[in-house]
Amino acid sequence: MLRGHGIEVAWVAVCPDEEPDISNILISWADDQGADLILTTGGTGVSPRDVTPEATAAVVTRTVPGMAETMRIASAGKTPHAMLSRAIAGVRGRTLIINLPGSPKGAIENLEAVMPAVAHAIAKIQGDSSDCV
């Protein structure tokens, strides 16, 4: 799906559901590797091991609540479990980070919901001032 939108997938990692491990990968990819976009999958629910939103919140400097809200709204029409999502989206430096659900179907549906704004968001995060009043 990402390649279909012209997005190069540079890295993929699987890590334990541990807050420091998740945060360290986010920091490395954003700060050291200069990723434009980081997508996480899984760990966004309410089970005790679901810590991805906390790990993400610990490393972003600004949240983008509208993206998470849009994903929940889009999912709510498909499953009542969408209201259990604690996914967030945020900015670290020049990188947009978005938490997606762990199920492949849910991840695709959530990404489809925000994809129309992803390129614009990345451009703005990286300093594009066009279309700004």
Query: 1.10.150.120, 3.40.640.10, 3.40.980.10, 3.60.15.10: which CATH number matches 3-125?
Result: 3.40.980.10
Domain map (residue ranges) of the chain = 3-125
Q: Residues of 116-129 as b/e, b for ≥16 C-beta within 10 angstroms? A: ebbeebbebbeeee
How buried is residue 105: exposed, middle or buried, by Cβ count under 10 Å (0-12/13-18/19+)? exposed
| pLDDT tens profile 99-122 | 999 999 999 999 999 999 999 999
Q: Phi then psi for 116, rounded to 5 degrees?
A: -60, -20
Q: What is the pTM of this model?
A: 0.96
| pLDDT tens profile 85-102 | 999 999 999 999 999 999
